[in-house]
Structure 1
Amino acid sequence: MKKIGFLSFGHWSNHPAYKAQTASDTLLQSIDLAVAAEQIGVDGAYFRVHHFAAQLASPFPLLSAIGAKTSKIEIGTGVIDMRYENPMYMVEDAGAADLISGGRLQLGISRGSPEQVIDGWRYFGYEPAEGETDAEMGRSKALEFLDLLKGEGFANPNPYPMFPNPPGLLRLEPHSAGLRDRIWWGAASNATAIWAAEQGMHLQSSTLKFDENGKPFHIQQAEQIRLYKEAWKKAGHKGEPRVSVSRSIFALMNDRDRMYFGQQGEGSDKFGYIEPEKRAVFGKSYAAEPDKLIKQLAEDEAIQEADTLLLTIPNTLGVDYNVHVLSSILEHVAPGLGWK
């Protein structure tokens, strides 16, 4: 069994061909798409978080709205940049969204990706401690967030409160039991994947990772996943770790599909630099008729290692077209790979 979800970047632009021309369009269509995706059997609705861009940013209002209008589909992020976050306020937001959804939140967090502005987290009021890098700051905030999600009391109660306090130290509310076990870390390197396993977080691996040996993307990603699983086992955590990988996959079912994505299937992995001195490998897109897609995807080692596949979607093309994209994979590709 493999869970299949979608991952939306939540773009919008005042372009005549786009269905999502405003932030309102994107937010409302994201809700509608999650509802429709649940109806056709998609397992997860995941959303990217980018600041200072015409894309989805603050995730919890959207996740809460989707949680209130759906009943089964997993709801998540991929990923929240912890450098921008106040862990305490985030615990309250995440707890509320998880309770509204009935415990379906699968929250992806990370150090974050290259930004639209220079050190954008500084505008949010955050600075690394002396001798600390921004990446270390992000990981430190992640650990604080994980600790707070346990729901243990830590704050001294006011002896003259507005409302009566329970005995002992107070915790943040609302608390959602079980959410701590549904936190994922977006890792771009083998080392951070191992670190995520040691902390008891699930793993999200995208269509990009740091190039660590020059091998094809799917092989490097599969190696990363195996190292993660080994570290999880060594750490002695209870339960099984989950791993998601993201892919751009389009089944070419009609002329419209071929017009939009026909050329993407002829691409290959790309190597380049996302930050100075950080060489990365970008995974190729898949676009072909279903029978050819089945053969191609069966050879993707990382997809085989993961229990969850997140399909990146062209959200600007609207809800109906994206339902077509997702249903084409579910109906014509997944069965041929034994995923359902």
Structure 2
Amino acid sequence: MNARKNIGFLSFGHWNPHPTSATQTAADALLQSIDLAVAAEELGADGAYFRVHHFARQLGSPFPLLAAAGAKTSRIEIGTGVIDMRYTNPLAFAEDAGAADLIAGGRLQLGISRGSPEQVINGWRYFGYEPAEGESDADMARRHAGVALEAISGKQFAQPNPRPMFPNPPGMLRVEPYSEGLRQRIWWGAGSDTTARWAAQQGMNLMSSTLKDDESGEPFHVQQRQQIEAFRAEWAKFDHGFEPRVSVSRSIFAIVDDQDRRYFLGSGDRNDQFGYIESTRSVFGRAYADEPETLVEQLRGDEAIAAADTVLLTVPNQLGVDYNTHVLDAILTHVAPALGWR
């Protein structure tokens, strides 16, 4: 694969009313997310991505944030990683996505998925959703995703009123606003090889994070590289009309000053971890935090990063915009060029 990478940040948007937190309120987390997107664009980064969690002191409602960030920037991709489709009305999703993408000038990159374990039991039920008979909650997420994809594609399906308030165009009606090209910028957050293949079959890009099902006992980056290969092999069986993209997420911190040393030197998980999530054996990828020269050598051995075209750097958003701008700048300046990412 080409060494050149799209480099973006991924923020969970944590906020906590603690004296040491730079984001003590939800307003802090939202407004600083916009400011960080602007700063990342000024640095030359390629993407500003936001995690979505419900019932948590984190970013929960993505589209107002995406629209605001899109309005304040002009070049950088604005995305999610990921929207939990168990909680989502597919047609409202298509409306909101179309509007936010038009505001951003066609720069949205929307990661969607079944989601992760949530803060409450079966939280999607509070949003008014139940799996159909014989469905699991994961099946429901994929069903919602399928309807959303059709709507985003501009499918005309709704019977027009013969006496509408305003004149209708001829034929069946579609969800508006429609944003041309958005359908090719939908990603599926896959946690296994099987769901990666399913994403390829549906014509969605692949988004893979720092967690996946343990399917072989091999190191995380090896299993993730195999997942990427499975996705691309499946994609090649179909004619979706465009080339897919693949992103991986990593916690990477270049230690370049004393503040970095205080925060990260000797911290983090330097090895993969294996454990269980909802009875599924999973592997958690290691974090990287070291002096730039050492960091470069460590990252050269990451097979999944080598196979992906996009790297999303998780950021400690509660440390504030200025520090996270420094974190991104350190990677873009001291690490990315040495690896050929820039």
The TM-score bracket by the shorter chain reads over 0.9
Q: Counterparts of 1:1-340 in structure 2 under 5 Å?
A: 1-264=4-267, 267-276=270-279, 278-340=280-342
Q: Which amino acid aligns with 2:5?
A: K
1:124-144 per-residue CA deviation (whole Å, 9 max, x = no partner) reads 110000011110000011011
Instruction: Give the SS at the match of 1:78.
Output: strand
Structure 1-normalised TM-score?
0.99
1:209-235 per-residue CA deviation (whole Å, 9 max, x = no partner) reads 010010000000000000001111112
Counterparts of 1:60 and 1:165, CA distance in 2: 27
Q: Which amino acid aligns with 2:326?
A: H
Deviation at 1:265, TM superposition (A): 5.6
Instruction: Give the SS at the match of 1:204.
Output: strand
Percent of aligned positions that are identical: 69
Q: CA RMSD in A?
A: 0.8
Instruction: Decide whether aligned partners of structure 1 residues 56 and 154 sit closer, same or farther in structure 2, where only a CA change above 3 A counts.
Output: same
Counterparts of 2:278 and 2:16, CA distance in 1: 26
How many residues are matched?
339
Deviation at 1:236, TM superposition (A): 2.8
1:101-155 per-residue CA deviation (whole Å, 9 max, x = no partner) reads 0000000000000110000000111000001111000001101111111112111
Counterparts of 2:27 and 2:106, CA distance in 1: 26
Counterparts of 2:268 and 2:58, CA distance in 1: 26
Counterparts of 1:127 and 1:266, CA distance in 2: 37
Instruction: Give the SS at the match of 2:68.
Output: helix
Instruction: Decide whether aligned partners of structure 1 residues 322 and 128 sit closer, same or farther in structure 2, where only a CA change above 3 A counts.
Output: same
Counterparts of 2:36 and 2:268, CA distance in 1: 25
Instruction: Give the SS at the match of 1:90.
Output: helix
1:237-281 per-residue CA deviation (whole Å, 9 max, x = no partner) reads 2221100000000000111111111123662100001112x0100
Counterparts of 1:223 and 1:231, CA distance in 2: 12
Counterparts of 1:37 and 1:115, CA distance in 2: 29
Comparing 257-266 with 89-98, greater Cα deviation is found at 257-266
Counterparts of 1:305 and 1:210, CA distance in 2: 19
Instruction: Give the SS at the match of 1:281.
Output: strand
Q: Which amino acid aligns with 1:106?
A: Q
Counterparts of 2:288 and 2:325, CA distance in 1: 18
Gaps of 5+ in 1: none
CA contact (8 A) 1:208 1:280 kept: yes
Instruction: Give the SS at the match of 1:118.
Output: coil
Instruction: Decide whether aligned partners of structure 1 residues 322 and 161 sit closer, same or farther in structure 2, where only a CA change above 3 A counts.
Output: same
Counterparts of 1:22 and 1:237, CA distance in 2: 43
Counterparts of 2:39 and 2:269, CA distance in 1: 30
Counterparts of 2:266 and 2:50, CA distance in 1: 26
Structure 2-normalised TM-score?
0.98
CA contact (8 A) 2:211 2:283 kept: yes
Deviation at 1:336, TM superposition (A): 0.3
Instruction: Decide whether aligned partners of structure 1 residues 316 and 23 sit closer, same or farther in structure 2, where only a CA change above 3 A counts.
Output: same
CA contact (8 A) 1:78 1:109 kept: yes
Counterparts of 2:340 and 2:241, CA distance in 1: 28
Counterparts of 2:155 and 2:255, CA distance in 1: 51
